Chains A and B, each alone.
Chain A
Amino acid sequence: MEQFEQLLTCCVCLDRYRIPKLLPCQHSFCMEPCMEGLVDYVRRQVKCPECRAEHRIPYNGVQAFPTNVTLQRFLELHIEITGELPDPTSGQIMERCGVCSEKAYLSHCAHCEKKICEDCKSAHMDILRREITRFNSQIRRSLHRLQDSLAIIEKNTMSLQTNAISVTEEIDEIYHRITKAIKDRSDQLKGEIDRYLAVELRNLTTLKENLDLEITNIGSNCDIVDKYMNETVEWDDCELMDTKEIFLKTVEFLRHFEYENNDYSRRVRFLVSIDPNQLVMNLATFGDLNIAPHSTPGGSVSSSHLAPPSGLQPGLMRSKSDHRLATQFRQQEERGGYNDEPVLGGRKFGERPQRSATNSDRYGESSRYGRSDYDYENDYENEPTSGRTGKSSRFRSRFVRSHQNDDSDTEQQQQQRQQELKERKDRVLDSEDVSRGQLSGIIRLSDCSRVVQRLADIGKEKKSDKKSDAASAAQAAVQAAIQTQKAAMQRQQQKSQQPAAAVDEDELARQKRKSAASSGAATSAATSEAGQDQRPNSERVATLKGPRGGEDSDGSGSNQASSPVRTATAATRAESKPPVSAQVAAVKKTQRSGSSDSSASTESSASSGAAATAAAAAAASAAPSSSSQQKAPSTARHSSARDSVATTAVPEKKPFVSRFLPQHSTPATANGTADKKKAESSSSSEEETSSESESESEPETKPKASATSSSNSASKSTPSSASSSTTAATGSSTSGSSYRDRLEARRASRDDSALAAASRSTYATPSSSGYGSGSSSTARTRTVPAPHHAGESEDRYGSSSGTGSSYTSRFLNKSKSSAIVTQPSLSTPTASFDEDANGTGDDSDSRYGTGRSRYLAMKERRTRLARSRSSHQFGNEDDDLDEPVSPTTVSPSAYLASRYSGYGSSDLSRSRSSHALKSRDNSPITDRSAGSSRAGALGSSSTDNKDGEALSSWARYLKNKYGNKSSKDTPSSSAGSARDSHATSSTAASSSHAHGIGSSGSGRSTASEVSRRLSLGLPLRQANELASSDDDGSKNGLGSPTSPTVAAAVAAAGITGVAGTIPKQVYLRKRQQLFQLGGRGSEPGSFTWPRGLAVGPDNSIVVADSSNHRVQVFDSNGIFVKEFGEYGNGEGEFDCLAGVAVNRIGQYIIADRYNHRIQVLDPQGRFLRAFGSQGTADGKFNYPWGVTTDALGFIYVCDKENHRVQVFQSDGSFVGKFGSCGRGEGQLEHPHYIAVSNTNRVIVSDSNNHRIQIFDVNGKVLSTVGGEGSDDGQFKFPRGVAVDDQGYIFVADSGNNRIQIFNPDGSFLKTFGSWGSGDSEFKGLEGVAIMSNGNILVCDRENHRVQVF
């Protein structure tokens, strides 16, 4: 047998023959690779390895040699006999591997979509495994977000219940009170009636008795006279006389007696003071349920805690906003198209992706859907044009989530799938029996049969030594475990659904009950709910009619909505993952347990109504109920609900809810969420709105009305009730007159704002559109002050004035958030801002520079707060008057004007980041608290930024320079005011304001900074020191802005102060190392080839740990704080990063050298954005090295291999460049590092020219320092440069291994350091940086450390 096998073995590869080719010498060899390898291509010969006979190769190559058929038969026979498995590669032909281009047997690799050899494939699989591991850890890290959300949901559920209960109690209380009042009154009246009756009766009875007596008496008298008063009886004269008298009296009496009929015939009437009909009506509508669209309270139901903070959500999806936008866009374009793609592109887990052939086959076969192929063909046609099919399924899957929102779509798909299921059992796209996350469409891996199989296999392998049944037992065990898990999951789901459903029904019942008594909101809620309930049915009908039907309605629904909504929806989408198709859930449920059918259907309706729910959220109590209906998705829903009323309201409120409702809400939507194109949409929405809410016909109130109407639409009241029963109007109607008051106040404030150089349009714009979701919140927040106002027309906090205590107090309670905001905002507007800023501090920067949608989404809350405050201030303008006047408040116009025209240079305006500009729109609105609200909108950081931008820190600079010398104070300030062409008032105000610094001690009040700088009004930058913008703006300060006190205070608080005091001598003394960081390694706190260095605004030390591909952050004492980044070219990943910079708001700007891009990370180290790619065009890089940023936020990049410096705005847009390769002035050769002084001098280490060049911001050379050499003031390959805030320049003279310090004028000051690895010795210098306390940080690359001097 062995010989036999040997005969079947190719002697070259020592393997079984594969396609044995017979040489003329009768020896056989495998065709590939053996025979191929034997070929001598030069001589076109093949030499037999066995007998060394040489044969000419046939024209067609070795494959033309005859195949040794006999041998092949033997091979087959052998396989038959031994039963050994055929070689898996038999019959295959070798090809060039798509990756390593070696010839080998290839198989398809799902990773790279190529045919590749085994080695490469295993390498790719390794990569995949690593990636999965990485993702896994990422997921683990961010999983807590979901858990947080869960916690919030639970909290929300609680609060919802509490809320509902309390509202119910209130209603009961009112009910009791009213009934009691009625009862008391009626009892009283009845009592009176009774008393009256009794009295009258008694009177009548007495009268009757008397009369009877009279009659009897008179009758007897008459009888006696008749009988006896004749001749027969003797009467004496006296007697007769008396009788006559009596009779006379009787006659008189009878003549005069007249029964006073009138007295007793008058009626008692029950007079009702108010028209009973009216009264009944009033009673019938004695209360309304009004759900504040978002977190602010209104009406009697507050949902302030319904909304989880948006800040929690976006983290996971942070980087995806663009995609989401795109998704949104696409979805819109393809609305109605086939756009329902589950997570794995519809595949089963582990299934090979389908080739396009199947796809087209599938879509082509549209007749299957029982309708004309027109639609579907079209849809499918659309897809390629939108670039989806081409790109690959991977790309498409990203857009999955959005589709799943369209339930009718899902429904339709279900049908389709079922059909498919029937038609093609082997279709990959059939729904698998897996549990899918409702939000993300993520399937549970352990549900996938393949995974089960694998796990089972593992189990088998482990126990393969044991008996086979043991193995099967293991498998069973694994499966059982999985099943249990599944079951548990299932139970959980059910559990969460059933009570939810119960709650839902409860709620519904209550709603109905209320709706009987109250109109407006409740009705709409019920309606929308009903609509929601109906939906599945009608959908089904639609689906039955033809899949297109449901889709159409869907389409039309979203059609109406989506254009204005887009942004906000995108934002919403960001948070709301797509609910898994109801169909999947339903199918799964039915398969698993019949009992869960109901819940399944609930689910389907729920998930179908996913967004409808959100809509309902807008529409009032329906929302909470239904959102609590599904546990998991509720987060998303919450957030979406919160994000904007309209966002979801429209797309999901299908026509059949009511024609009227969508219409009504559409303008609101447009209003609430309109994209930033503002003007048109806002105006149109205004028009529509105003036409709808007729009561508010005043042109001035229009913007307001539009804002209001969003909530109006929520409560879906008729026009008349729009004014009376909702929000802004609501507030006023509750206590009639205050509405007027408020209007007036508002008007007044508007006047103010007009004064404030804020054009009305600006005002209108942000309120209605500029802020996307934010503005919807405007509407909301507006409601807050309104009721406030209403409830307490005079006394803001006074509890029970006119309207009844319950209302007011409730408002106060419920609107806690707003109240909180309000309160401080009244006393110290800026301080309250602080609160805001703190509250949302996290978001502030991340919002700063990312995609728009996210920006908006994140801003939402802040804006809301700011808004509420500002609107409140509108409302209470009068109250505020007596408050200390803050400069930003009083003279916004001056402030703005000074900003704009004071220096008027385009530079400045350009310098403002787009965010800043955007925020500016906001500021006029809130004229009173221009500073603070702007800040509120922008976040602390941006405020600061703007301060820096707008006002620069010339003042500061001066102060730094001269701060200690009081003699200089006056000149500087006078210079300031001289420069400041505006309003002395502003100066004065600001100066008074600025004293806040002195007294407030913390001295970092941005507001005061602003004003102070304003007062000095000089354009200069300051170092990063202001990054933390506190806006405490205490206005009670006393000093003078430039007084030593202030300087001292600032020195104490800020960094500049310290820096400002550094004398030259300090630098001259520098020699001795203070301490050092790092050491070689990759653990935290160690470095491998560190390069860039930067000092953060909080004096942290930031090190670009280049070959560890990460950034490390230390505190000013060198204690490790954090690290971020890893190797790669994804977001937040680096490839040998070089330069690093920290801007004044703490964002990290990183030159990702080998990825040829700049990345910007937020202070937490999370990716914000990246820009640039390899190339020589503007905005492209070739090994960017040093990077720095100035006070205006511009980013300067040393584009090393392009021998130039490029300048970008903080958002990454290209601003300019300078330098070209060469030795001349202004030319650069391998510029490495860059620094910008606060006098706007740009210092570049022109490394290969051995010099430092100093440019102005426009790229004009100011001076050149140094030349090649080792003397003082000469360089060899200078690298790191740094400049302190007094202009002293520090150069890492890399070739000479020393640090040189230069005076601001470029003259040599000091040098220290030498080659070596001891203290104060260097090997290969890289970046340098200067801390605010004058410590010099030096990156000692080859020693893998950072030294501090």
Chain B
Amino acid sequence: MSSLPRRIIKETQRLMQEPVPGINAIPDENNARYFHVIVTGPNDSPFEGGVFKLELFLPEDYPMSAPKVRFITKIYHPNIDRLGRICLDVLKDKWSPALQIRTILLSIQALLSAPNPDDPLANDVAELWKVNEAEAIRNAREWTQKYAVED
């Protein structure tokens, strides 16, 4: 295994030194490319008060390819499926090497604030979100309470 690129080191340092509010990313002890991420649900969103665990992995050719991010905590969101996979353009075709871990995580936080049912991953959720947004949001709140709030 080749050593860690400087960019990853720098990013990690910066994440530790200047953490983004509401976002906490800690590299794994054994694998510096693997991060344990905690994102708090944004205010004024159905996910408010929730603490969502994610995992983030920087592939070998990072930053030329996007990091792999997945929700570990269950979440009720039209763009996030049951397995926690995230439908987010910057994680896919819109990835740019100029983006960073922090920007990606900010994007994810933003995605929580602004679900996009038109580009769904979890179709049933998206359907409900489109048909009955209130109920969907209620569901999201329930899930958040159920899975993402630690007592």
Contacts and interface: CB of A to CB of B under 8 A. Distances in A.
Q: Do A and B bind each other?
A: yes
Interface of A: 11-15, 34, 37-38, 47-50, 52, 100, 102, 119
Contact of A50 (B10, B63, B96): B96
A119 B4 CA distance: 10
Contacts of B6: 13-15
Contact of A11 (B2, B3, B5, B98): B98
22 contacts: A11-B97, A12-B7, A13-B5, A13-B6, A13-B63, A14-B10, A14-B11, A15-B6, A15-B10, A37-B63, A37-B64, A37-B97, A38-B64, A38-B97, A47-B96, A49-B96, A49-B97, A49-B98, A49-B99, A102-B2, A119-B2, A119-B3
Question: Which of A14, A50, A100 has the most chain B CB atoms closer than 10 A to its own CB?
Answer: A14
Contacts of B96: 47-50, 52
Contact of B7 (A14, A47, A50, A52): A14
A37 B99 CA distance: 14
Interface residues of B, number: 16
A14 B103 CA distance: 14
B64 A100 contact: no
B134 to A, nearest CB: 36
A1005 B138 CA distance: 103
Given A37-B64, A119-B3, A12 B97 contact: yes
Given A13-B5, A14-B11, A48-B96, 20 more contacts: A11-B97, A11-B98, A12-B7, A12-B63, A12-B97, A13-B6, A13-B7, A14-B7, A14-B100, A15-B10, A37-B61, A37-B63, A37-B64, A38-B64, A38-B97, A47-B96, A49-B96, A49-B98, A52-B96, A100-B2
Nearest to A36: B64
Contacts of A14: 6-7, 10-11, 100
Contacts of B99: 49
A48 B97 CA distance: 9
Interface of B: 2-3, 5-7, 10-11, 61, 63-64, 94, 96-100
A11 B7 CA distance: 9
Contacts of A11: 97-98
Dominant SS among interface residues on chain B:
loop
Interface of A is mostly: loop
Given A14-B10, A102-B2, A34 B97 contact: yes
Contacts of B7: 12-15
A15 B6 CA distance: 8
A1034 B5 CA distance: 79
A52 B98 CA distance: 10
A358 B50 CA distance: 71
Contacts of B97: 11-12, 34, 37-38, 49
Contacts of A12: 7, 63, 97-98
Contacts of A15: 6-7, 10
Nearest to A13: B7
A38 B64 CA distance: 7
Contacts of A52: 94, 96
Given A14-B10, A14-B11, A50 B64 contact: no
Contacts of B63: 12-13, 37
B2 A50 contact: no
A718 B38 CA distance: 103
A100 B2 CA distance: 10
B12 to A, nearest CB: 11
Contacts of B100: 14
A525 B49 CA distance: 105
Contacts of A47: 96
Contacts of B3: 119
Contacts of A37: 61, 63-64, 97
A14 B6 CA distance: 8
B17 to A, nearest CB: 13
Contacts of A13: 5-7, 63
A12 B7 CA distance: 8
A15 B94 CA distance: 23
B65 to A, nearest CB: 10
B3 to A, nearest CB: 5
A464 B94 CA distance: 49
Contacts of B64: 37-38
A15 B11 CA distance: 11
A49 B63 CA distance: 10
A96 to B, nearest CB: 14
Nearest to B64: A37
Nearest to B61: A37
A34 B100 CA distance: 14
A13 B61 CA distance: 12
- Most chain-A Cβ atoms within 10 A of its Cβ — which of B2, B3, B7, B97? B97
A47 B93 CA distance: 12
A46 to B, nearest CB: 11
Nearest to A34: B97
A37 B63 CA distance: 9
A52 B97 CA distance: 10
Contacts of A100: 2
Contacts of B2: 100, 102, 119
A688 B11 CA distance: 87
A49 B103 CA distance: 13
Nearest to A15: B6
Nearest to B95: A49
A26 to B, nearest CB: 14
A925 to B, nearest CB: 68
Nearest to B98: A49
A1079 to B, nearest CB: 31
A13 B96 CA distance: 12
